[in-house]
Amino acid sequence: MSENITKESIIKEENCVYKRTNLLVDKALSYCPGCGHGTAHRLLMEVLEEMNIQSETIGIAPVGCAVLAYEFLDIDMQQAAHGRAPAVATAVKRLMPEKFVFTYQGDGDLAAIGTAETIHACNRGENITIIFINNGIYGMTGGQMAPTTLPGMKSSTSPYGREVETMGNPLKMTELVAQLPGTYYVTRQSVHTPGNVRKAKKALRKAMENQKLNKGLSFVEIVSNCNSGWKMTPVQSNKWMEENMFPFYPLGDIKVPVE
């Protein structure tokens, strides 16, 4: 070992293997420690930075935990009413077809109150990207049952577990929209391991790149954890997600463009 290794000699541009994307605002995230939102935000901003489309991208934030997404993403953004992001994004894209437009929505927003807007934006084949974070619970309002809550899963409004006979079945929105002719690329990912993070980033990149092709809507579901809402540690919640969420919401591409 050389004797003249100093901090300054190590911190050099050529030694940098990874750094925080410039498109994330330097601000503490409002998400709970251990939550997947932060990783999803970072991946999305890395994609925009790598594509060099910061000045051409308009994002639509939902109502839910990600309502404040615009506080962290250094791009022009709109905050939509609960569930309405796909309608808002539709107009933005139709009026400025040269721009890249995405929505970032949770399961309550996208799969309950915004079901109509989601299905119709997908069915019209709007040339946008929908990013769907599915953690099976209403996080922001304190852990109520979501449209994607699993059978038997406890929440503050299904305290004895979701009884499908009275509370209905969880909705597989991603499989549903994959059936529609307007969707071009539909995939389900996660961000709980380094390997999955890499796959999710590739999916997000593809979903944004697709907008250049003008061939329809790209839909990326990210199955995520909600350690606060699920009342688990982050590690426990990721394990629980693998054991319970993934069998019901299997990861992988559901609809891929025919080359």
Q: Which residues of 124-151 are buried (b: 16+ CB within 10 A; e: fewer)?
A: bbbbbbbbbbbbbbbbbeebbbbbbbbb
What would the two tokens of residue 103 be?
Answer: 């929505």
Binding of residue 122 to another protein (CB under 8 A): no
Residue whose CB is less far from another protein, 96 or 164: 96
Residue whose CB is less far from another protein, 89 or 251: 89
What would the two tokens of residue 137 be?
Answer: 């619970």
Residue whose CB is less far from another protein, 115 or 157: 115
Binding of residue 57 to another protein (CB under 8 A): yes
Binding of residue 182 to another protein (CB under 8 A): no
Binding of residue 115 to another protein (CB under 8 A): no
Binding of residue 179 to another protein (CB under 8 A): no
C-alpha 75/C-alpha 85 separation (Å) is: 16
Q: Smallest gap, in angstroms, from Cβ of residue 100 to another protein?
A: 9
Query: Please, where are the H alpha helices in 115-193?
Result: 115-124, 164-167, 173-178
Only one of the segments 94-102, 133-141, 147-155, 208-216 lies at the binding site for another protein (rule: CB under 8 A); that segment is 94-102
Binding of residue 173 to another protein (CB under 8 A): no
Q: Smallest gap, in angstroms, from Cβ of residue 209 to another protein?
A: 17
Binding of residue 150 to another protein (CB under 8 A): no
Residue whose CB is less far from another protein, 76 or 175: 76
> Which of 26, 134, 9 minimizes the C-alpha distance to 73?
26
Task: Assign 189 to helix, strand or coil.
Answer: strand
CA dihedral 153, 154, 160, 164 (to 10 degrees): -40
Exactly one of 24, 45, 66, 67 binds another protein (CB under 8 A); that residue is: 67
CA 55 to chain centroid, in Å, comes to 21
Q: Smallest gap, in angstroms, from Cβ of residue 120 to another protein?
A: 4
To the nearest 10 degrees (0 to 180), the angle between helices 115-124 and 85-95 is: 30
138 forms beta bridges with 144
Binding of residue 94 to another protein (CB under 8 A): yes
Binding of residue 21 to another protein (CB under 8 A): no
Residues that bind another protein (CB under 8 A): 54-58, 60-61, 67-68, 70, 74-81, 84, 87-92, 94-96, 99, 116-117, 120
